[in-house]
Amino acid sequence: MGITIRQADIYDIQAIQNANLHNLPENYLTKYYMYHALSWPQGSFVATTFDEIEEWDDEISLDTVTVKDPKGDTAYIKKGEKIVGYVLAKMEDDPEAEDKTPHGHITSLSVMRTYRRLGLAGKLMRHSLYALCESFGGQYVSLHVRKSNRAALHLYRDTLKFEVTTIEKSYYQDGEDAYAMQKKLILDELKPHLFENAEVVDDFSQDLLDDL
């Protein structure tokens, strides 16, 4: 199926953990994903695909439908639905944190290599930023990115307009430095449909079954 982007919930976390283990060197236990899902349920999003949809196509006769068990693949959360990307986000909840203004933090973001160039990472991030601002009053959001990860840097700096605040020496386990980045959150500027660059905006007044 094409791609669906939606809020993540507890049913997704095993497959999110799977995507994380496949894509990134920083990994977490299931319980940490649960902690995200149960502390900031609005903050995290997934990109999923469906590989079977029957009811949308009347031309396929029932006789040709073969019944199969769900694929025993860790990317699948249920029959036919597979997680191909995720953003895992939280609010700063460290009581020792210096800055007491409410702000969010991106714990992890990744998209399976085979699903890149569809703009999924950017879309996932925008939904997350919007939710952190709307539901939790986040005034800005922060994240870390590996100094060598040019694709990620491009996404955050150029596409999403984050700014580098500092360089944290040897932030990662393997000794690599991180850019610490931040973006100020202003709800009205974050509305996801603004980034559609559409010529017409739905004002909910028209009949969609007629010519606009």
Partner 1 sequence: MASKRAPILGNKEDTNFNEALKLYDSKQYKKALKLVDANLKKNSSHAASLTLKGCINYYIGNKPEAESYIVKGLTKGENNYIVNHLAGIYYRAVENYTDAAKWLKAAIDNGSPNKQILRDLSNLQVHIRDYKSLVSSRQGYLEFQPGYRANWTGTAIALHLNKNYKGAISTLTKIESIIKEHLQDQDMYEQSECLLYKNDIIFQSGDVQKALETLEDDKPFIKDMLSFLEYKAKYLMVLGRTQESSIVYRQLIQRNPDNIEYYKQLEICLNIFEKPLSSRIKLYENLNKFYPKADPPKYLPMMFIPSSHPAFKEKAQNYILGQLKKGVPASFVNIKPILKNPKKLKIIEEIVASFFENALSNYDPTIKVWGLYFLSQLSLYQKDLATATKYIDTALEHSPTLVELYILKARILKHYKKYEAAAQIMDEGRQLDLQDRFVNSKATKYYLRANEIDKAVDLISLFTKLDKDAVNGCKDLHTMQANWFITESAEAYKRLYHQYEEELASIEKTPENEEIIGSLHDKIETYKGLALKRYTAVVKIFDIFFNDQFDFHFYCLRRGTPRDYIKTLQWEDTIHSTPIYVRVIKGLSEIYLEIYKEQQQKKAVEGEDDGTTVIKKNNKKNKKAKAQSLKKKESLIAKVESEKDDADPLGTKLLSDLVNNAHGNIIDNLLKLSQPLLNEAKDYQFNWELSFKLNLIKSKYVLSLQAIKNLNSILSLRGRITSKIPQIEQLVTELGEAVSKDESVNEAIKKVVKMGLSASLSDYKEAYEPYLN
> In angstroms, what is the minimal distance from the CB of 139 to partner 1?
13
**Of 14 and 142, which has the nearer Cβ to partner 1?**
14
* Count of C-beta atoms within a 10 Å radius of residue 56: 8
Helix (H, G, I), strand (E, B) or coil at 125: helix
* Count of C-beta atoms within a 10 Å radius of residue 210: 6
**Of 158 and 204, which has the nearer Cβ to partner 1?**
204
> In angstroms, what is the minimal distance from the CB of 100 to partner 1?
11
**Of 66 and 98, which has the nearer Cβ to partner 1?**
66
**Of 50 and 184, which has the nearer Cβ to partner 1?**
50
> In angstroms, what is the minimal distance from the CB of 17 to partner 1?
7
> In angstroms, what is the minimal distance from the CB of 85 to partner 1?
11
CB 90 within 8 A of CB 105: yes
> In angstroms, what is the minimal distance from the CB of 129 to partner 1?
13
**Alpha-carbon span 32 to 34, nearest angstrom:** 5
* Count of C-beta atoms within a 10 Å radius of residue 203: 6
**Of 39 and 165, which has the nearer Cβ to partner 1?**
39
Helix (H, G, I), strand (E, B) or coil at 130: helix
Q: Terminus-to-terminus CA distance in the chain, angstroms?
A: 28
> In angstroms, what is the minimal distance from the CB of 52 to partner 1?
6
Type of residue found at 136 = F
**Of 98 and 204, which has the nearer Cβ to partner 1?**
204
Q: Which among 57, 72, 132 has a CA at the least distance from the CA of 101? A: 132
CB 39 within 8 A of CB 8: no
